[in-house]
A and B are shown apart, each in its own frame.
Chain A
Amino acid sequence: MDILFSNVKELVEVAEKEQQPISEIMIRQEMLLTRRSREDIVAQMENNLAVMENSVEEGLKGVHSSSGLTGGDAVLIQNYMKTGKSLSGELLLDAVSKAVATNEVNAAMGLICATPTAGAAGIVPGTLFAVKNKLNPTHEQMVNYLFTTGAFGFIVANNASISGAAGGCQAETGSAASMAAAAIVEMAGGTPQQSAEAFSIVMKNMLGLVCDPVAGLVEVPCVKRNAMGAAKALVGADMALAGVVSVIPTDEVIEAMHKIGQSMPSALRETAKGGLAATPTGKALEAEIFGKDKESRDTVTK
C-alpha cells in the first residue's frame, strides 16, 4: 500500500514538492490508508472540532471533578485575563484557560475529543480557539489545523509513543504541545519546514517529563501540564515563525523522546507510584479519595 509519509522528513518533502500544506498531505494519506472519501474524512474532523468547541465552552462555565481535585481554574484565568493586567499576554492566557477548561471537563468525565490522548486533550483545542481570535481563520482552516496536528501525532504514535504508560507525560502533553505548535505555524502562514522546527523546539522542552498522576487520576498535575503545554506551543510557534531552527532534526528529537520513555522507570509511567503521586500530600490525597483499605481498592465484586 502506498504511504505518503512515515516520518517528518518525508512529510515536509512531500508538502514542499506538492506545494501543499501539511494538512492537505494528511488528508491525502488518510484517503489512501482508509479508502474513505475526502468528504467523509473532513466531515468526521468537523465533528471532532464541534466536540472540542463544546468542551471549551462547558469548561469556561466552570466544572469540578468528583474527586474535588480539579475544577474552576479555567474561570479564574479567564476572569484575570479580562482585567487586562496579564503579564504574559492575553492570547497566551486565553489559550491556557481554554486548555484548562477542556481538561477540567475531561476530569469530570465529560465528553471530549482525545488529542492525541484524553489526558493531553486541552492543548490542541486550547491553542486553536485562542489563535482563532487573532488570525480569524475560515472554518476550513480550523479543520485543517486538526489535520496538521494529526499528521505530526501520527508520526509520533508510529515511531515513538503517545501513551503515558509507555513513554511518560512527554509522550502525551509533550506530543500535544509539539503538534499544536506545528499547526499554529501553518495557520499563521509559515512553511512546512517551519512547522517541523516549531514541533522540535517544543518537544525538546518536554523531553523527560514523567507521568505521575496523584491517586492515578487524570487531574493533578495533568490539568496544569496542559496549561503549560499550550503556552509552550504558542512560544515555540512564534520562535519558528521568527526563523529560529532546531539543531537536532525533528525525527531525531522524536527518536530521543522514544528512548527516554523506554528508559523511564515504571514508577514514573502512569502507575501513580512515583513523582508527585508519591509525595506526602499525593499519598494523603490518594488515601482520602480511595480509602485506606487496600483490599477494597484491589477487588470490586458486584
Chain B
Amino acid sequence: MKFRSVFEIIGPVMIGPSSSHTAGAARIGLVARDLFGRQPEWATIHLYGSFAETYKGHGTDVAIIGGLLGYDTFDERIRTAFEDAERLGMSFEFIAEEEEMDHPNTAKLVIGDKEGVMELIGISIGGGTMEVVELNGFPLRLSGHFPALLVVHDDRAGVIANVSNAIAAQDMNIAHMEVGRKEKGKMALMVIEVDQVVNDELIEELRALPNVTQVSTLAN
C-alpha cells in the first residue's frame, strides 16, 4: 500500500500550486535535510522527467530549497526560499536532466558542507506524498511518514539482531524494516521505520554497537 492515511488524500495543507511538484518537492528537500542532520552549505539538484520540464512554473525549485532550509509544505516562507538561502549562506544549482528515470517526478539531491556529502534520490508519487528511493547509492524505500532510523553498518552476522534488540529494549515497535548492501561483506544500510519518535539515548546506543558506522534519524 503506497498510501496509508486519509490525510495523504485530503491533505496536505500546502502552498500552491502543485501537490506533486511543490508540496512533494518540499518534502523531498525536508527529508534530505533531516537525514543530513543540519543545513547544507551547498546543494546540486538534478531534476528528471516532468520535474525537469515544468519545475519553474510549479515552484519545484523554491520548494526543494525551502525543504532544505527546514520549511514544511504549508510554510509561506517557501515563496522566498531563494532569497532566504542566499541570506543563510546556502548556494545551490538546478540541472534539468534529459535522462529518463523510472518515475516521472524524480529529483537527485547532492548536498554537503565541510563535514560531508550526501546524495539522495526522491520521487514525488502524487498528492504531496514522496518516497526516498536511493541514499548514497543504496536503493531503499522510505516514505517520511513515520519516524525512521537509518543505520550504515558493515555487512556482518549479528548486526541486525543487535540493532533490533536495542530498539526492542526501548519498547519501540518496528513498522517496516529493510536491509540493503552494495556488495557481500562490505557496507550495508538498514532502514527502520518505527511507530514512536526516536530518542537520543537509542541513537547513542546504536552508534556504540560493533560494526555500526553511522546512524541518522528522520523525525516524522
The answer to whether A and B assemble together is: yes
Binding site for B on A (CB under 8 A): 3, 6, 26, 29-30, 33-35, 41, 44-45, 47-48, 51, 65, 67, 105-119, 121, 124, 146-147, 149-151, 153-154, 157-158, 161-166, 171, 213, 215-219, 266, 269-273, 289-290, 297-302
Kindly state whether residue B71 has any CB partner on chain A within 8 Å.
no
Which residues in window 104-140 of B have CB below 8 A to A? 104-105, 124-128
Task: Please judge, given known A-B contacts A33-B5, A154-B6, whether A161 and B126 are in contact too, CB under 8 Å.
Answer: yes
Whether A302 lies near B53 (C-beta < 8 A) is no
CB-based closest 8 A-B pairs: A216-B54, A163-B126, A106-B16, A153-B9, A150-B6, A218-B17, A216-B57, A217-B57
Partner of A163, one of B11, B92, B125: B125
Chain B, Cβ-Cβ closest to A266? B104
Chain A, Cβ-Cβ closest to B90? A302
A residues less than 8 Å from B36 (CB atoms): none
Whether B9 lies near A106 (C-beta < 8 A) is no
Whether A216 lies near B53 (C-beta < 8 A) is yes
Task: Please judge, given known A-B contacts A118-B22, A218-B58, whether A110 and B96 are in contact too, CB under 8 Å.
Answer: no
Partner of B10, one of A107, A149, A164: A149
Which residues in window 1-39 of B have CB below 8 A to A? 1-23
Whether B9 lies near A157 (C-beta < 8 A) is yes
Whether A299 lies near B18 (C-beta < 8 A) is no
How would you classify the secondary structure of chain B's contact residues: helix, strand, loop or mixed?
mixed
Instruction: Tell me, in angstroms, the Cα distance from A211 to B206 when the chains sit together.
Output: 47
Whether B14 lies near A118 (C-beta < 8 A) is yes
Whether B16 lies near A112 (C-beta < 8 A) is yes
B residues less than 8 Å from A270 (CB atoms): 20, 50, 54, 104
Smallest Cβ distance from B34 to chain A, in angstroms? 20
Smallest Cβ distance from A166 to chain B, in angstroms? 6
Whether B14 lies near A112 (C-beta < 8 A) is yes
Whether B54 lies near A162 (C-beta < 8 A) is no
Instruction: Tell me, in angstroms, the Cα distance from A290 to B61 when the chains sit together.
Output: 14
Partner of A26, one of B6, B12, B50, B57: B6
* Size bin of chain B's contact surface: 35 or more
Whether A34 lies near B126 (C-beta < 8 A) is no
Instruction: Tell me, in angstroms, the Cα distance from A158 to B95 when the chains sit together.
Output: 31
Task: Please judge, given known A-B contacts A163-B126, A216-B53, whether A117 and B14 are in contact too, CB under 8 Å.
Answer: no
Whether A157 lies near B19 (C-beta < 8 A) is no
Instruction: Tell me, in angstroms, the Cα distance from A26 to B58 when the chains sit together.
Output: 31
Whether B2 lies near A157 (C-beta < 8 A) is yes
Chain A, Cβ-Cβ closest to B98? A298
B residues less than 8 Å from A116 (CB atoms): 9-10, 19, 126-127
Task: Please judge, given known A-B contacts A147-B6, A157-B2, whether A217 and B58 are in contact too, CB under 8 Å.
Answer: yes
Whether A271 lies near B49 (C-beta < 8 A) is yes
Whether B6 lies near A109 (C-beta < 8 A) is no
Write 16 A-B pairs (CB below 8 A) sorted by A numbering: A6-B1, A44-B7, A107-B17, A108-B16, A109-B16, A112-B16, A113-B10, A114-B19, A118-B18, A157-B126, A158-B1, A162-B9, A165-B104, A269-B104, A271-B53, A300-B93
B residues less than 8 Å from A149 (CB atoms): 9-10
A residues less than 8 Å from B3 (CB atoms): 154, 157-158
B residues less than 8 Å from A213 (CB atoms): 54, 57
Instruction: Tell me, in angstroms, the Cα distance from A299 to B92 when the chains sit together.
Output: 11
Kindly state whether residue B85 has any CB partner on chain A within 8 Å.
yes
Q: Mark B47-85, 1 if CB is under 8 A from A, else 0.
A: 001101111111101000000000000101001001001
A residues less than 8 Å from B86 (CB atoms): 302
Whether A112 lies near B13 (C-beta < 8 A) is yes
Smallest Cβ distance from A120 to chain B, in angstroms? 9
Given A105-B16, A113-B14, A149-B10, 12 additional A-B pairs, CB 8 A: A34-B4, A51-B13, A111-B16, A112-B14, A114-B12, A117-B19, A150-B10, A154-B9, A162-B127, A163-B127, A289-B57, A301-B92
Whether A45 lies near B127 (C-beta < 8 A) is no
